[in-house]
Amino acid sequence: MMQERINQRISSELNMPVQKVAQAVALLDEGNTVPFIARYRKEMTGGLNDETLRLLNEKLIQYRNLEQKRQDVLRLIEAQGALTPALQAKIEAAATVTELDDLYRPFRPKKRTRATVAREKGLEPLALAILKGQIDPAAEAEKYIDPEKELPGPEAVLQGASDIIAEIISDDAAVRKALRRLYLEQGLVITEKKEGAVSTTYDDYADFSEPLAKMKPHRILAINRALKEKVLNLKIAVEEESALQAVQKLFIPEGAAEPCCKFISAAAADSFRRLIHPSLEREAWQSRLEEAIEGAINVFKQNLKKRLLVPPVGQRRVMGLDPGYRTGCKLACVSETGELLEVATIYPTPPKNDRDHAAATVLRLLEKHQIDCIAIGNGTASRESEEFISSLISEHDLPVEYTIVNEAGASVYSASSLAQKEFPGLDVAERSAVSIARRLQDPLAELVKIDPRSIGVGQYQHDMPPRQLSEALAGTVEACVNSVGVDLNTASASLLSYVAGINKTVAERIVAFRESNGGITSRKQLLEVNGLGPKAFKQCAGFLRLPDSPDYLERSAVHPESYALARSLMERLEISPESLGRPEAIPSLSQAEIEKLAADLDAGVPTVMDILEEFRKPGRDPREDLPKPVFLKSVTSMEDLQPGMTLMGIVRNIVDFGAFVDIGVHQDGLVHISEIADRYIKHPLEVLQIEEVVPVKILSIDRERNRIALSIKQADAPV
């Protein structure tokens, strides 16, 4: 019954048949991974994609936690002997954790409060009588005077009754629900700089106010960071009169006597100011903050996906250049497969400016290792290094291209234990140069070695809940890795650990197994790896490829469980092994023909369609359809820039309020969201993506603060 209710809710929210939800839930409960279900169980889910399945799984966890809390609340209230049929019905109908918390609030164990003290003095009957509205509180209070209970007169008695009523009002679920809506819809955020705070980072919020409902997520996150750093004070103001009217409507009975009305109104005002406002002020801010965090994580995930799926340059020999000044520029030459060939250090930049020796070294390495492209990191001294390489190519008419590579996270990787194990004889900067070269060759294979939070495509990522952010980003990396597939004989342990069903320990064992056995020749050999049993094999096998295998199916994304089906299809369609991988040799079938074929072979239609597609092109890389890395030719410096200029740039990061674009001057420029498109857009991701090449017009340059304001909508293609 509980699971049926959860399935119905997910079905409604995701707008999909409940049967499809139930089947996906059953697959998840069996321990299947999201990538496996999305790719190899399409018949059961109706073809739900990876993203939808992850969202479904998140909601499944969320609502199961909600149901567990519901049972806990019912149990705890029943243990107090306070569970009535009416209250139970409200608890059963509660749709959120907040609603459950509100209903449980009156029964939650409390610290000693003013109301607790008043109850101990026997004043609760008086408070409840006043709430019924048919007595004179002052006259009734005379009956409760008791000096031994520190109730010497009616004033003390009435104060105690007021404290009890104030707490009853504060704990009332209907009151909190009504006022919570008031805060979220009409609350006004007011911030001011704390006395003695010296930071100037948040001066824009030193005297700031804005309706909470209209606040942009990036403002919420910026203010929250300032609160953590104790730079700002924050309060949320609402009209007290509106709040009190809402309370009075719920707590003053119709036809109540005037003395009771006045008393309840005064107690309500006290309840609002002393108990409700501080609580709901925090709640309202936290609610919008959680929305902002969720939005920022989603932006981070989308940016990360675009960065990870930048197409590889393929089988090219690359020289990685990690720019620097005093310590020089580190060079690393790598083979087509990413094997390190040689490292060197040159000093073409200040303070040494030894361009002649640097040129001789680069020319020697280019010729010796037959390098055909150079990857230059975009960090410190990047533009000076680019100018040197560009001039060298021009002066010697070299058949070499170069490009600027985003090196975010390279220093994190180069200082890691993984990098030390991989290149024990290199220093940190040399390892960084290797990483820069490899991330041009295959960004996905290299970037998985780095904590996703360090890849440099987020917004306020250091302010996100670490666990929530890590889980979200790990899911994105997992989705990217499995959509591309992994070469079983060349993939690093870092890359293998993101394959469905494989954890870090098993990934390291796979690497050790293939090294000790001189490589892996069949997917089935994986079952010999310690810790990789049949269940894990089922999850991972289809995503692991053997590109050099004589067996076509081992090179494809066809799962071993479908090998027999694949061979039956070949027989039925008279497809020879020599025809596999040649799209023109594979017959094109109508939907009706595919359905009949699937029925004859007792197979699912989606599986048959996927296998036929694999016959045409094994293990097709989805990155092939995306824009290729851009090889640049021009060099610009900050001093060359002038407002009004139009340049080509590369989108390096996207945030809620705009996009940061690399225009070749080391300092990325900002295109505010209002300058991205001629039409209204809610978010830059509607029209832009990471690594996209766009024309931009320079609006303004603040050289003191190193800020460049750009516009896309005002830009024409540069001449």
pLDDT digit string (tens) for 8-53? 999 999 999 999 999 999 999 999 999 999 999 999 999 999 999 9
Q: Is 264 inside any structural domain?
A: yes
Q: Is 457 inside any structural domain?
A: no
Q: What is the CATH number of the domain that holds 431?
A: 3.30.420.140
By DSSP bridging, strand 544-545 and strand 188-193 are unpaired
- Distance, in Å, from the CA atom of 123 to the CA atom of 137, rounded to the nearest integer, reads 12
Would you say residue 61 has pLDDT above 70? yes
> Average pLDDT, whole number, for the chain?
92
For residue 149, the surrounding DSSP H or E stretch is: none
Count of all residues that appear for the chain in the document: 719
Q: What is the CATH number of the domain that holds 66?
A: 1.10.10.650
Percent of residues, the chain, with pLDDT higher than 70:
97
pLDDT digits (tens, 9 = 90+) for 372-390: 999 999 888 888 898 899 8
Would you say residue 620 has pLDDT above 80? no
**Are 348 and 354 contacting, i.e. CB atoms less than 8 angstroms apart?**
yes
User: 596 and 650: one domain?
Assistant: no
Cβ neighbours around 458 below 10 Å, total: 24
Report CA-CA distances (Å) from 434 to 338, 374, 379, 385.
Answer: 9, 12, 15, 16
- Distance, in Å, from the CA atom of 42 to the CA atom of 48, rounded to the nearest integer, reads 7
Give Cβ neighbours of residue 372 (< 8 Å, ≥ 6 apart).
316, 317, 399, 400, 401
Question: Residue 311 carries which DSSP code?
Answer: P
Q: What is the CATH number of the domain that holds 206?
A: 1.10.3500.10
Q: Where are the beta strands (DSSP E) in 24-67?
A: none
The pLDDT score that the predictor gives to residue 636 is 56
Q: Give the count of domains, the chain.
A: 5
For residues 140-150, average pLDDT: 93
Q: Is 718 inside any structural domain?
A: no
Q: Which of 250, 266, 300 is the last residue of a domain?
A: 300
User: 278 and 137: one domain?
Assistant: yes
Of the candidates 697, 642, 690, 638, which has an alpha carbon nearest to the alpha carbon of residue 665? 638
User: 560 and 642: one domain?
Assistant: no
Task: Please tell me whether residue 659 adopts helix, strand or coil conformation.
Answer: strand
Q: What is the CATH number of the domain that holds 554?
A: 1.10.150.310
Q: Is 667 inside any structural domain?
A: yes
Would you say residue 169 has pLDDT above 60? yes
Full residue range of the structural domain in which residue 389 is found: 318-441
- Distance, in Å, from the CA atom of 346 to the CA atom of 332, rounded to the nearest integer, reads 11
User: 81 and 122: one domain?
Assistant: no
pLDDT digits (tens, 9 = 90+) for 484-530: 999 999 999 999 999 999 999 999 999 999 999 999 999 999 999 99
Q: Is 663 inside any structural domain?
A: yes
Alpha helix stretches (DSSP H) within 524-639? 534-540, 552-555, 563-572, 591-600, 605-616
Q: Is 662 inside any structural domain?
A: yes
For residues 285-309, average pLDDT: 92
Of the candidates 437, 213, 234, 184, which has an alpha carbon nearest to the alpha carbon of residue 318? 437
Give the neighbor-by-neighbor strand order of the sheet with 188-193. 207-211, 188-193, 232-237
Q: Is 219 inside any structural domain?
A: yes
User: 258 and 399: one domain?
Assistant: no
- Distance, in Å, from the CA atom of 15 to the CA atom of 64, rounded to the nearest integer, reads 19
351 preceded by cis ω (within 30°)? yes
User: 588 and 644: one domain?
Assistant: no
Pairwise pLDDT comparison (456 vs 81), residue with the higher score? 81
User: 160 and 228: one domain?
Assistant: yes
- Distance, in Å, from the CA atom of 667 to the CA atom of 707, rounded to the nearest integer, reads 8
Paired with 698 in beta bridges are: 710
For residues 157-162, average pLDDT: 96
Would you say residue 63 has pLDDT above 80? yes
Q: Which of 51, 73, 107 is the last residue of a domain?
A: 107
User: 101 and 121: one domain?
Assistant: no
User: 144 and 102: one domain?
Assistant: no
Vertex 624: Cα angle to 619 and 627 (nearest 5): 160
Confidence tier at 294 by pLDDT (50, 70, 90): very high
For residues 88-108, average pLDDT: 95
Would you say residue 718 has pLDDT above 50? no
Q: Which of 300, 334, 358 is the last residue of a domain?
A: 300
Would you say residue 558 has pLDDT above 70? yes
Q: Find the distance separating the first CA and the last CA of the chain, reported in whole Å.
A: 67
Q: What is the CATH number of the domain that holds 663?
A: 2.40.50.140
Task: Record the pTM.
Answer: 0.84
pLDDT digits (tens, 9 = 90+) for 211-224: 999 999 989 999 99
User: 537 and 420: one domain?
Assistant: no
pLDDT digits (tens, 9 = 90+) for 640-694: 788 888 887 888 899 889 999 988 776 889 999 999 998 999 899 988 988 888 8
Report CA-CA distances (Å) from 186 to 180, 182, 272.
Answer: 10, 5, 16
The pLDDT score that the predictor gives to residue 632 is 54
Confidence tier at 315 by pLDDT (50, 70, 90): confident
Pairwise pLDDT comparison (140 vs 458), residue with the higher score? 140
User: 101 and 124: one domain?
Assistant: no
For residues 250-261, average pLDDT: 93
Instruction: Give me 162's structure tokens.
Output: 């007021």
Percent of residues, the chain, with pLDDT higher than 90:
78
User: 132 and 258: one domain?
Assistant: yes
Q: How would you label 307-340 residue by residue, b for 16+ Cβ within 10 Å and e otherwise?
A: bbbbbbbeeebbbbbbbbeeebbbbbbbbeebeb
Q: Is 350 inside any structural domain?
A: yes
